[in-house]
Amino acid sequence: MRLAPDMNARFLPAAAGAPDAQPDGPLPSAPELAGLVRASAPIGLPAHLQAVPGTLVSCRLPTRFGEFDLHGLQDPQTGAEHAAMSLGRLGDGEPVLTRLHSECLTGDTLYSLKCDCGAQLEGGLAAIAQAGRGLLLYLRQEGRGIGLVNKIRAYALQQAGADTVEANRLLGLPDDARDYSIAVTLLGQLGIRRVRLLTNNPAKVEALQRLGIEVVERLPLHMPQNPHNQAYLQTKSRRMGHYGPDEPV
């Protein structure tokens, strides 16, 4: 009989492969690690490498923007896995340049021109790298929280002439279903209580402040428009209150 893999242990290979990225405790020695691999069991791993829901695991991640620390956390309530990328020392009490980025498979991975998500992801990482210190939270809230399949359904309605708000409502879905409480959990585990937030969305500022995070500054993150996303971006500004490129910070 073929057994299904333990999905709660999915973070372990990445963490175990980055011996320089664990400030909270020592990694196994090479012989110890080899023994664990042969045993195919996580028994004996340090506590900070155990795949426990709600507990942060970390490794180093080289990118074309620089070398970041990659952190992962499984939400104990929903089972969703969220990520963060940090650069520099963050827990010193000083405000941290922060980007809250919601997952967008079409924009982040499939190069869609219907939104500005992929460009904002890259722009956020570039801004953090230029500052030499900061944090990008990558929250698994596809399609403003409605999920990938519903997002594709909404895209089909947009293709027929609806805007992004109308499409969601025609499907009986909220304009924005995102919940930022997991972002506060991630910030807390990284020792961050004060942020300089990279966003055009006032709802993100309000959500963090309501959840106890001090937003000391909002910084715009506008990307060039194209013929495929121009109407979408205008709708976000006109109907969802997002700041446009010509509005004051």
Element (H or E) spanning 217, and its range? strand 214-219
- Is residue 24 among the annotated active site residues? no
Which one of 60, 163, 175, 176 is the catalytic residue?
176
User: What is the full DSSP assignment across 2-16?
Assistant: PPPP-GGGTTHHHHH
Query: In this structure, are strands 66-74 and 57-63 parallel, antiparallel, or unpaired?
Result: antiparallel
Alpha carbon distance 219, 206 (integer Å): 14
Closest CA to 185 of 74, 101, 70: 74
Which one of 144, 153, 178, 218 is the catalytic residue?
178
Alpha carbon distance 224, 233 (integer Å): 11
User: What is the full DSSP assignment across 113-172?
Assistant: SSSSHHHHHHHHHHHHHHHT-EEEEEE--HHHHT-HHHHHHHHHHHHTT--HHHHHHHTT
Closest CA to 85 of 102, 103, 67: 67
Q: Catalytic residue numbers?
A: 176, 178
